[in-house]
Amino acid sequence: MCGIFACHRHPDVQKFKPTALRLSKAIRHRGPDWSGSVISNNTILCHERLSIVGVESGAQPLTNADDSIILAVNGEIYNHRSIRKGLQGKYHFKTTSDCEVIIPLYTQYDIDAPNHLDGMFSFVLYDKKQDRTIAARDPIGITTFYQGWSSKEPGTVYFASELKSLHPVCDKIEAFPPGHVFDSKTGKTTRYFNPSWWDPAKVPQTPVDYKVLRKALEKAVRKRLMAEVPYGVLLSGGLDSSLVASIAQREMVRLRQQAADNDATADMQSNPDIGEGLVGIDPEDDHLDTVTYLPQLNSFSIGLPGSPDNKAALEVAKFLGTRHHVMTFTIEDGLNALSDVIYHLETYDVTTIRASTPMYLLSRKIKAMGIKMVLSGEGSDEIFGGYLYFHAAPNKEEFHEETVRRVKNLHYADCLRANKSTAAWGLEARVPFLDKEFLETSMNIDPADKMITSEKLEKYIIRKAFDTSDEPDEKPYLPHNILYRQKEQFSDGVGYGWIDSLKDNAELQITDEMMKNPKPEWGTDIPDTKEAYWYRLMFDEHFPSTCAGTVQRWAPTWSQQSDPSGRAIKTHNDKYQSAV
């Protein structure tokens, strides 16, 4: 994951340059490998690089042959090889970076260029000849991205990967909307992402096809193994991360075997007596640039001592054969990190902070081991209605509407958590469940098949898609008890004492009198619990009130509970605790 900062049409860009470099440095944790900047006319683009693809040649900002187009990108473009092959006319690529394809796409398709990308990205592109800047964000908002303005410079617009680069110079800041593109020529931001499932009123009627669903997720995981550096998988022991780990491990085994077969083929060609009929490269893998062949896939979990997640993760890792690393943290470790976590997250949402703290601590350990990219399981609960409150959905229409709403708002919650908790330590998280093709498949399934009943556990259809019990020739993807393990929100699964301790400490920090007298600048966004109040105070220590508009607080639907934890829902006690 990288960091970008850009400013278009600054009245004195040369004088502003030292400030721009300082603001870019504020997000260097996202890209500790290299820094770059380019000034053209009155526009400056700055980039903090985390090198994963095109390691030796992909320093940014990127430029075209005559340096008239300048590009700064945060993200990964999984279909960059097919884009290179399909371009109209010739384009001289300066690097092997997956992101450079955005430049010829812009010259060919103008502001529709983002629509041709398959990946996670935020980018700012400057066209010197037109004095024009366009900026875009990936369809779901997996990469964080913000836009800002200053009343002191009414014709200037700013962009950055994080708020901390904008609030020192902007008095108006907004989260850049996912699936949109901004054009300085018109001053408009328009939506380019128009999938078939976008309108929640159009309830799908297509029955689930388990084999199609399975193949779609497998393909999404394979895409995300595009890397030239060591990588691993986050493994909580829950369904989503375990499926991703299982598919990644299978793919690693297949790729190693394929490499061995190719070596054998080369030997056979030089010595025909060795053998015949060996398997060659699968043409479907052409989208991959470089895959690092690891002797063993690394998996990582975290929890308090004796946590449900670490126990389940160890079982999965042993079953899959990954090289597993268990991290335990203490409640004091988590409490000590809270202020730093909120600084990096740039939110005061209770659910996000609870879940991000263990992920933030784990990411530091992972990076210290030399790992630069991990696969993670975000998005599944939103797509399939996996949160326990979905038990209360009154009908399939409302169930579907809620899944669409949740997916559209992921950039305020789980995508933000996965991106910023890892990027705080120069680690990149990739999320296969939010693949465009997989979303097209999974969001167009009849929600009646997704709904939770007495016979069907939440996320039943994705569980069933990977249940090979009736396929004697197919090796199981997961142990049966893991495949059908009930949902635990990450902040619960790391150990129930974590959330309890947060509530207890909030009681010590926030008085009843404080609750009765919230800050006037909070307006109508008033914390409803002492824990929420505590987090808002810590947020205010780092960020001005102009940043609060980028925050959305997570809360379950069809429920009156004030605590967003899955453990606070009656279903958890009835169906989970009674079973253990």
Domain boundary among 434, 463, 494: 494
Domain boundary among 461, 494, 527: 494
304 annotated as belonging to a binding site for a ligand: no
225 annotated as belonging to a binding site for a ligand: no
Q: Tell me the backbone φ, ψ of residue 443, rounded to 5 degrees.
A: -80, -10
105 annotated as belonging to a binding site for a ligand: no
Q: Is residue 298, in this structure, part of any structural domain at all?
A: yes
User: Residue 327 forms beta bridges with which residues?
Assistant: 302
Residues 317, 410 within the same domain: yes
Tokens 């449900």 correspond to 308
Residues 60, 120 within the same domain: yes
- Looking at residue 1, its pLDDT comes to 74
Residue numbers in the chain where pLDDT is lower than 50? 268, 272-289, 576-580
Q: What is the Cα–Cα distance from 354 to 43, expressed in whole angstroms?
A: 39
| Tally of structural domains, the chain | 2
Domain boundary among 494, 510, 530: 494
Residues 51, 104 within the same domain: yes
For the stretch 288-297, pLDDT in tens is 345 565 678 9
Residues 348, 232 within the same domain: yes
Residue 82 near residue 58 (C-beta atoms within 8 A): no
For the stretch 363-393, pLDDT in tens is 999 999 999 999 999 999 999 999 999 999 9
User: Residue 373 forms beta bridges with which residues?
Assistant: 231, 428
Residues 219, 183 within the same domain: no
- Looking at residue 277, its pLDDT comes to 28
Q: Domain range spanning residue 64?
A: 3-191
380 annotated as belonging to a binding site for a ligand: no
Residues 160, 214 within the same domain: no
Q: What is the pTM of this model?
A: 0.92
What count of residues does the chain have? 580
Which tokens is 496 given? Answer: 């129930």
Which tokens is 98 given? Answer: 């997956």
Q: Is residue 538, in this structure, part of any structural domain at all?
A: no
- Looking at residue 267, its pLDDT comes to 60
> What is the identity of the amino acid at 45?
L
- Looking at residue 81, its pLDDT comes to 94
377 annotated as belonging to a binding site for a ligand: yes
Q: What is the Cα–Cα distance from 376 to 236, expressed in whole angstroms?
A: 9
- Looking at residue 414, its pLDDT comes to 97
Q: Is residue 83, in this structure, part of any structural domain at all?
A: yes
Q: What is the Cα–Cα distance from 580 to 57, expressed in whole angstroms?
A: 53
- Looking at residue 386, its pLDDT comes to 95
Question: In CATH, what number is assigned to the domain containing residue 146?
Answer: 3.60.20.10
Residues 148, 245 within the same domain: no
Residue 474 near residue 465 (C-beta atoms within 8 A): no
Name the active-site residue from 2, 99, 170, 415.
2
Residues 349, 442 within the same domain: yes
DSSP 445: B
Residues 46, 108 within the same domain: yes
Q: Tell me the backbone φ, ψ of residue 138, rounded to 5 degrees.
A: -60, 160
C-alpha dist (Å) from residue 529 to 217, 417, 537, 555: 39, 21, 13, 13
Residue 343 near residue 407 (C-beta atoms within 8 A): no
2 is catalytic: yes
